[in-house]
Amino acid sequence: MIYNGIKIDNTFAEAFNMKASRIIVTADNLKWAKHACDSFTGFATSVIACGIEAGIEKQLKSSETPDNRPGYSILLFSMSRSQLEKQLEVRVGQCILTCPTTAIFSGMIGEDVIPLGKNLRYFGDGHQISKKIQDRRFWRIPVMDGEFLCEESTARVPAIGGGNFLVLSTNRKSCLSACETAINSIKNQPNIITPFPGGVVRSGSKVGSKYKALIASTNDAFCPTLKSITKSTLPANVNCVMEIVINGLTFDDINEAIKTSIQSISKMKIKKDIVAISAGNYGGKLGQYHFHLRKVMK
């Protein structure tokens, strides 16, 4: 299939069931809200070693936040409830509570509730104040710049993690440029995040390794430097591959994000350097969701 001058491989991306939660971080200005969010979402690229995958979903205007201050919404994804709870608690405690002027609120409503400030309140050492407004409880924890306001709990919903596509290019410069354009095109799309640095992954992995201790290792079939010695799936003229991983709350959200990203690449001048768009999968046996690229681009 050729989509607007770009070859779309007949393959699919394999994604997994995950659990997600949304939080809203506000501060006196966007600068400090961003500091808090960058810190919170740092080292949250993959559940393999980070516990959760997290990223900034979008920037919020003052009128869109609970306390009329600018901020960001963050989406967190995890494979298990316990990891999500643990990571949320430690990250809020170390990254949001510590950041000047910030406050934190739940960004979603649901029956499945997980703690947000419930245990964090003990930092107040008895001086914390609880406020209940309708069915929501908030904690005011005295800190050195005034008060840290946080909601007691947030909700957890089913979500999908690991939607992806690969950009196969003749050179690294064009490949990176295409990925940057793709990420920019979905920057403001709600309900999705791209958890890796800048949204792009260069170290795609396969399951297993020749070393017993490792559960994942480099995806040699897509490594251009190993073309001559491994069972490579890359065409001869491909010299660089980069992956964009997308986590989303629903199948449609990821579907839409993949489509928008590939469309944006197909509008670029450097598309002549893009050999094909492919996707990463594990043979279809591990993931519950399959994003067939040709169906997505129809």
Which residues sit at the interface with other proteins, rule CB under 8 A? 28, 66-69, 101, 103, 129-134, 138, 140, 145-149
**C-alpha count within 13 angstroms, C-beta hemisphere, residue 227:** 11
Q: How far is the CB of 105 from other proteins (least distance, A)?
A: 8
Number of CB atoms found within 10 A of residue 94's CB: 12
Nearer Cβ to other proteins, position 67 or 252?
67
Calculate Rg over the CA atoms of the chain.
21
Compute CA distances 132 → 17, 114, 277, whole Å.
34, 17, 51
> What values do phi and psi take at 80, rounded to 5?
-130, 155
Q: How large is the angle between the packed helices 172-185 and 251-266, nearest 10 degrees? A: 130
Reported as type and span, the H/E element at residue 140 is strand 136-143
Nearer Cβ to other proteins, position 62 or 230?
62
Nearer Cβ to other proteins, position 145 or 252?
145
**Residue 61 carries which DSSP code?**
-
Angle at alpha carbon of residue 82, lines to 215 and 56, rounded to 5°: 80
Q: How far is the CB of 280 from other proteins (least distance, A)?
A: 43
Strands 216-218 and 289-292: unpaired
Distance, in Å, from the CA atom of 275 to the CA atom of 231, rounded to the nearest integer, reads: 19
Q: How far is the CB of 123 from other proteins (least distance, A)?
A: 16
Q: Residue 111's Cα: distance from chain center in Å?
A: 23
Nearer Cβ to other proteins, position 72 or 148?
148
Nearer Cβ to other proteins, position 38 or 145?
145
Q: How far is the CB of 91 from other proteins (least distance, A)?
A: 20
Q: How far is the CB of 32 from other proteins (least distance, A)?
A: 12
Nearer Cβ to other proteins, position 116 or 201?
116
Q: How far is the CB of 147 from other proteins (least distance, A)?
A: 6
